[in-house]
A = this chain, B = another copy of it.
Amino acid sequence: MSDSALPRLEVCLSPALLHLYDTKGAVVVIIDVFRATSTIAAALHNGATCVIPVASVQECIELGNSIENSITAGERDGKVAEGLQYGNSPSEYPKEFINDRCLVLTTTNGTRLLHMVKDADTIITGAFLNLSAVCDFLVAQKKNVLLGCAAWKDRFNLEDTLFAGAVVNKIKDHFSVNCDSARAANYLFEHSAEGDAITFLRDSSHYKRLSAYGLQGDMEYCATPDLHPVVPILKGKELVIYK
């Protein structure tokens, strides 16, 4: 898993480790499987004009007020946050609802990581729902890649790492991989979860947390590969479909 003539592929397991990686000129993939980057893939694939990730509920409300045909969304503790209109579930954004609208979305872990990356060439978002599209994009770019797990309040989590492993597994032959995080993520995916991520993820902290809110269906959906084959790419402050 190493050939120095190829671009570099690395995995960052937590935003608290981001400073260890050189993202200059690289493609950075923001990963927040449960559920921000899953919802982003679903909304864009179902016709949203853009998704604008913001850090706070207040910012979400203000931006929602200033953009025509926008929807404000975000949860705190598993419920729609006060002052916002919708939640953080990918199934809330079918085509007939989200088409031609802009989704202003506040999430904690994923948004924070996205705003922490300063000097990358390109920032995209990834989740199982757009796994193959993300992989194809990364291979085509021929640039260094950092897979950035949003984690949970900086703590390592299984779902984001597992997705990073799925990406490493699919594209590793096109990159130089000399990164133990990438090796471990690949191993977890290859030996445990290939083809059945959700069974593996049922024994994870986040699954247990969200299950307490009755969100098992959401997580099953989020663990399904390639239902929304788009590449959300950051242009200014907006995530739009890469074309």
Contacts and interface: CB of A to CB of B under 8 A. Distances in A.
A183 B154 contact: no
A133 to B, nearest CB: 26
Contact of A205 (B152, B161, B178, B191): B178
Copies of this chain present: 2
Contacts of A188: 184, 187-188
Contact of A179 (B13, B17, B192, B205): B205
A154 B14 CA distance: 12
Interface string A1-32: 11000000000011011001000000000000
A180 B208 contact: no
B14 A203 contact: no
A183 to B, nearest CB: 6
A180 B14 CA distance: 12
Contacts of A152: 180
A187 B180 contact: no
Contacts of A178: 205, 208
Contacts of A203: 1, 183
A155 B181 contact: yes
A106 interface: no
A157 interface: yes
Given A13-B13, A153-B20, A184 B158 contact: yes
A161 B183 contact: no
Given A17-B154, A17-B155, A156-B17, A205 B180 contact: yes
Nearest to A191: B191
A204 interface: yes
Contact of A17 (B14, B157, B180, B181): B14
B20 A155 contact: yes
A190 to B, nearest CB: 10
A184 B184 contact: yes
A180 B155 contact: yes
Interface in A157-201: 157-158, 161, 178-181, 183-184, 187-188, 191-192
A158 B187 CA distance: 11
6 contacts: A16-B17, A155-B181, A158-B183, A178-B205, A180-B205, A180-B206
A79 B5 CA distance: 29
